[in-house]
């Protein structure tokens, strides 16, 4: 193989594709990237056996085709530290040479035949969605998925096609986030409940969102494949029962207040500064025209932040995990949101229009 790369284009591709490479694995070859020439482009692939990603790099000059497997971290480091506009890659037998204007690096390579197959995108898309809208939905939900759970379904995000809309739902059992986005095309509705791993969703969120870019989606057996321009992300789907979340979303709340997003986020963060490790909670006291955020640490002191609000309902005091509140407020792109409350022992609801809902369980203080 002998290929000249535009260094900036190569670095962008390496940064995205390497995001799936596991830091630890009993199979060292999974910490590598596969680089293959295709006509007038070069395909870079990576997989952790559960998800895979490929990207075509077209800013290349291919003098000799080939297929190589090289360690991702070494290749990334060399390309990132280079100042050259063009980097030449040469491969022969078990070595790869990276040549710049004043440098030459040699990396030992692996046998491409030993590298797992990374699926591409075959056939027509069943769903199409604007990439920026999909990424907005991901950012509004992925943080609420369980990090590690024996109920594997909670480690992913539920996809539900509802007419021309796609609902994304994530929960870790203590909070639940739901975002609804519009679809550009619906040719086929997948059967059963589709649960996409949170790691796969995070990778989709890293694809550069060029203006008006669309993502095509296909479902095959127990897999999903998403294509956007020169990037294809594929993944196994999660098995298991996702909670019937519709049954736990309250519909009878009478207490509602509209709050400014940024000032509320600031108040939550400041009140949390003196929250105790034991309670991990802050108290919200809502009364006529006033919302007060408080926390108390017996060994340290207490905090109180007052906010003027337009509220005429019954007073209520309720405790929440401040980190859970901040997670939702941080990703909201709107200036205001609604807080809906029932009783102090029932969940709180954060709403933004009809397309975002966040349920958060109360804590005892």
What are the pLDDT digits (tens) for 313-333? 999 999 999 999 999 999 999
Contact 334, 321 (CB under 8 A): no
Lowest mean pLDDT among 70-74, 91-95, 182-186, 260-264: 91-95
pLDDT per residue over 87-121, tens digit each? 999 998 889 999 999 999 999 999 999 999 999 99
Q: Dump pLDDT digits (tens) for 32-61.
A: 999 999 999 999 999 999 999 999 999 999
Confidence at residue 211, expressed as pLDDT on a 0 to 100 scale: 76
> Above 70 in pLDDT, residue 273?
yes
d(CA 343, CA 348): 9
Query: Whole-number mean pLDDT of the chain?
Result: 94
Confidence label for 153 from pLDDT (cuts 50, 70 and 90): confident
Order of strands, sheet of 255-260, starting from the edge strand that comes earlier in the sequence? 194-197, 156-162, 165-171, 175-182, 356-360, 348-352, 336-341, 255-260
SS (H, E, C) 199-219: HHHHHHHCCCCCCCCEEEEEE
Stated pTM of the model? 0.92
In the numeric block, which tokens belong to residue 173?
């059992």
pLDDT for 196: 96
Runs of H (alpha helix) within 105-177: 131-139
Q: What is the pLDDT of residues 275-314, one digit of tens each?
A: 877 667 999 999 999 999 999 888 888 999 999 999 999 9
pLDDT at 71 over 70: yes
- Domains of the chain from N-terminus onward: 2-114 (3.10.150.10), 127-245 (3.10.150.10), 250-360 (3.10.150.10)
- Residue 136: which pLDDT band, with cuts at 50, 70 and 90? very high
Span 341-359, average pLDDT: 96
* Of residues 149 and 267, more confidently modeled: 267
For residue 344, what are its two tokens?
């102090």
- Contact by Cβ (8 Å): 11, 80: yes
Residue 221: pLDDT band (50, 70, 90) is confident
């Amino acid at each position: 193989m002998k290929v000249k790369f535009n260094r900036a284009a190569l670095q962008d591709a390496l940064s995205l594709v390497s995001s799936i490479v596991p830091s630890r694995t009993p199979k060292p070859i999974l910490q590598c990237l596969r680089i293959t020439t295709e006509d007038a482009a070069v395909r870079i692939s990576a997989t952790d056996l559960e998800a895979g990603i490929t990207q075509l790099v077209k800013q290349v000059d291919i003098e000799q085709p080939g297929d190589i497997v090289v360690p991702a971290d070494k290749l990334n480091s060399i390309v990132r530290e280079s100042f050259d506009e063009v980097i030449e890659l040469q491969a022969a037998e078990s070595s790869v040479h990276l040549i710049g204007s004043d440098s030459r690096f040699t990396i030992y390579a692996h046998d491409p035949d030993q590298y797992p197959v990374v699926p591409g995108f075959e056939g027509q898309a069943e769903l199409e969605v604007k990439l920026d809208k999909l990424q907005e939905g991901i950012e509004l939900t992925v943080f609420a998925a369980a990090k590690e759970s024996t109920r594997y379904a909670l480690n992913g995000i539920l996809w539900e096609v509802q007419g021309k809309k796609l609902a994304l739902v994530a929960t870790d059992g203590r909070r639940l986030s739901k975002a609804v986005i519009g679809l550009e095309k619906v040719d086929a509705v997948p059967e059963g409940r589709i649960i996409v791993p949170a790691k796969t969703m995070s990778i989709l969120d890293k694809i550069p969102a060029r203006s008006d870019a669309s993502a095509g989606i296909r479902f095959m057996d127990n897999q999903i494949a998403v294509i956007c321009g020169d990037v294809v992300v594929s993944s196994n789907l999660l098995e298991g029962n996702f909670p019937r979340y519709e049954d736990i979303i309250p519909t009878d709340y009478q207490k509602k207040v509209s709050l400014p997003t940024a000032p509320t986020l600031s108040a939550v963060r400041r009140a949390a500064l003196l929250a105790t490790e034991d309670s991990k909670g802050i108290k919200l006291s809502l009364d006529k025209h006033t919302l007060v955020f408080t926390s108390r640490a017996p060994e340290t002191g207490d905090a109180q932040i007052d906010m003027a609000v337009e509220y005429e309902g019954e007073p209520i005091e309720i405790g929440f995990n401040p980190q859970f509140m901040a997670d939702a407020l941080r990703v909201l792109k709107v200036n205001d949101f609604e807080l809906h409350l029932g009783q102090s022992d029932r969940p709180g609801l954060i709403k933004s229009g009809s397309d975002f809902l966040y349920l958060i369980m109360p804590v005892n203080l």
